[in-house]
Structure 1
Amino acid sequence: MPTLTRRGLAAAAILAPLAPAVARAQSWPSGTIRIVAPFPPGGSVDALARLAQPMLERSLGATVIVENRAGAGGSVGANAVAKAAPDGNTWLFVFDTHAVNPSLLPNMPFDSLKDLDPVMLIGTAPMVLVTHPSQSYRTLAEVIQAGKERAGGVPYGTIGNGSLGHLAMTLLARRAATGFNHIPYRGGGPLINDALGGHVPLSIASVAVLAAHLTAGTLRPIVQTGAQRAATLPEVPTVAESGFPGFEAEAWWGVFAPAGTPAPVVARFREALAGAFREPATAKQLTETQQIKLLATGPDELRTFFASQMKIWGDVVRENSIKAS
């Protein structure tokens, strides 16, 4: 029988605690995989989950279901995942509200940093400030000047109170020393209906929500909020280019798992998901229809990004006493 050297014993001691996790990863998946989309069907998070679903089933050899658990800006579904067993059978797809909720909803029954492990930053997309063609606004400078001259500020609509669009416009108002009058809607559908009808002078939403209307010319873009101009909107300037260096507010989509999900399982799921999103037909759908810049990063990148988003928008919420409703 071979004699273990001191180095071999040390290596065995290091690897021993990893053995159960490796074993679980090798036997996973062992049941139905559940992807929780914490918003109603039809939204961007739901669309991403259902886009990946069939390819995940093929890649992992398991049944994958998408479960919509809507409520409280995505926190209801996130709470369900935070309290689920960390066995690799439950995953959470989120939108940018996930980084806002900890400051906007102080009584959430889970800790976003401690109870959920990062898996993947799927991608980002700029928001776009738009107006109805009947309005005279064509530049951000004109909007800012109107806000200074109009009592109560220029009205603008968003998908809801505390949404990223609301926070971005609040931050812009402070930096520009101007006035905006926020009109919150209950989602993108009602917002777009009023924007198309000319009932609200300005609207801000993700480019994914607005893309078809920008292409059709039924809404006119004024400025976009990304760090650089989106490839699909090369003629539309950014806020940073328009006199506010460093200004950036991008919608984003990510994936989390219950805290303690074995790292090898997370790695295997992330690899399968990245492969699904990089399939040519799927990638085209993401970049052209959803207007998302595909990143498909690993957990470390999402962890850093998520912490920065919580800090930026948490400060805006607190400094401006923004409430969920």
Structure 2
Amino acid sequence: MKRAIRNSHLAVALALGAMPLSVAAQATSDFPTQSVRIIVATSPGGALDATARAIGNKLAQMWDQQVLVDNRAGANGAIAYDLLAKSTPNGHTLMTVSATHIVNSLVIRDWPHNVLKVTAPLSQVASLYYVIYRHPSVPLKSLKDVIDYGRKNPGKLLYGTGGNANISHLGWEWLGHMSGAKFKHVAYKGASNAVKATIAGELHVGFSTVHSLRGHFASGRAHPLAVTAKQRIAQLPDVPAVAEFGMPEYEINQWYGIVTSAKVPPAITAKLSPAIIEAVKSDEVTKRLSADGSVPVGSTAAEFSAHLKAETAKWQRVLQDTGMALSGSKL
């Protein structure tokens, strides 16, 4: 009788002990079990927002679940990171990240989150390279001409960006550091205002994305000089890469990726990452991203994790090499 009771207790204990594992396994196998949210740290309408919506629409089809884009602009992206950090770690909250977030985490003293620590990387979904361009009135026909002029006439060529210590600003300063040329920076409130000033002839040269410049190139109001990739890109096949001008290490990539909270169990991230890769590599998403000027990627979680670490190290080096470790910097 006692043996039967002990066996009964053992069976109950084993059953109770197995319940959390069984529930977790079922939740993982059925994932997602509810609508999924993709947090975007910008306002609607930009390239990052468009990327999130294109991938979200495809994931909704694949999962037969609603995928909602939640735009949370402000505080240089910190608001979005706060939401992700406080979200229930069940994999139903995702977030788009970009190279801008890495730079912000390095140069803004009170930026509250370490990107590498608070996120679980799922996939780099796209690369978005910049174009160095000139106003039509500027008689410098190539990037070599721009560099030569910047060496012989330091500080005479004006370029504008959407603020201090952003990627465009750092990109120009890194170009100057590598080439020995010196350019004069003019900061505007927002990248679009810097483009408008260059198109209006207030600045000599500029630095912006294919997406924002394609119409100006077509109309002749701006002329491309080089793309900030290590090789030419399909959207502008006749425009040389900066690497072709003797700077093989130079690359400015406003990449986009998707992450979830670092607290999400690996069993769930192991399901999320392949789904995102499949969505990115689908015909409809590939066409949409390419049309927006991006280069679709769809890397694995491990590859994206390595990319984030490499990008952090690169931007630390750029800040140090250019002397732009600002007073508010964490360096």
TM-score by length of 1: 0.87
Q: For structure 1, which segment, 133-142 or 42-51, has the greater mean C-alpha deviation from structure 2 after superposition?
A: 133-142
Structure 2 portions without partners, runs of 5+? 1-17
2:160 to 147, 152, 157: 157
Decide whether the 8 Å contact of 2:38 with 2:68 is kept in 1. yes
Q: For structure 1, which segment, 66-75 or 145-154, has the greater mean C-alpha deviation from structure 2 after superposition?
A: 145-154
Decide whether the 8 Å contact of 2:109 with 2:328 is kept in 1. no
Distance 1:324 1:279 in 2: 42
Letter in 2 for 1:30: T
Equivalent residue for 1:47?
Answer: 50
| CA radius of gyration, larger in | 2
Indicate the SS of the match to 2:164.
Answer: coil
| CA RMSD in angstroms, aligned pairs only | 2.4
2:39 to 26, 36, 40: 36
Letter in 1 for 2:306: T
Distance 2:22 2:121 in 1: 22
Q: CA deviation at 1:126?
A: 2.0
2:289 to 262, 266, 286: 286
Equivalent residue for 1:87?
Answer: 90
- Do the aligned partners of residues 197 and 163 (structure 1) sit closer, same or farther apart at CA in structure 2, a change above 3 Å counting? same
Q: For structure 1, which segment, 221-230 or 151-160, has the greater mean C-alpha deviation from structure 2 after superposition?
A: 151-160
Equivalent residue for 2:298?
Answer: 296
The question of 1:321 aligning with 2:325 is answered yes
TM-score by length of 2: 0.85
- Do the aligned partners of residues 221 and 323 (structure 1) sit closer, same or farther apart at CA in structure 2, a change above 3 Å counting? farther
Letter in 2 for 1:108: W
Distance 2:232 2:95 in 1: 29
- Do the aligned partners of residues 306 and 16 (structure 1) sit closer, same or farther apart at CA in structure 2, a change above 3 Å counting? farther
Distance 1:264 1:198 in 2: 55
- The number of aligned residues is 310
Decide whether the 8 Å contact of 1:121 with 1:255 is kept in 2. yes
Indicate the SS of the match to 1:137.
Answer: coil
Equivalent residue for 1:11?
Answer: none
1:264-283 to 2 correspondence within 5 Å? 264-283=267-286
1:101-146, Cα deviation, whole Å (9 max, x unpaired) = 2211232222211111101100213211001112112112221232
Decide whether the 8 Å contact of 2:274 with 2:300 is kept in 1. no
Q: CA deviation at 1:59?
A: 1.7
Structure 1 portions without partners, runs of 5+? 1-14
- Do the aligned partners of residues 136 and 30 (structure 1) sit closer, same or farther apart at CA in structure 2, a change above 3 Å counting? same
% identical aligned pairs: 29
Distance 1:307 1:191 in 2: 30
Letter in 2 for 1:23: Q
Equivalent residue for 2:309?
Answer: 307
Letter in 1 for 2:169: H
Letter in 1 for 2:235: T
Distance 2:57 2:247 in 1: 43
1:38-71, Cα deviation, whole Å (9 max, x unpaired) = 0111111101111223222222222221111112
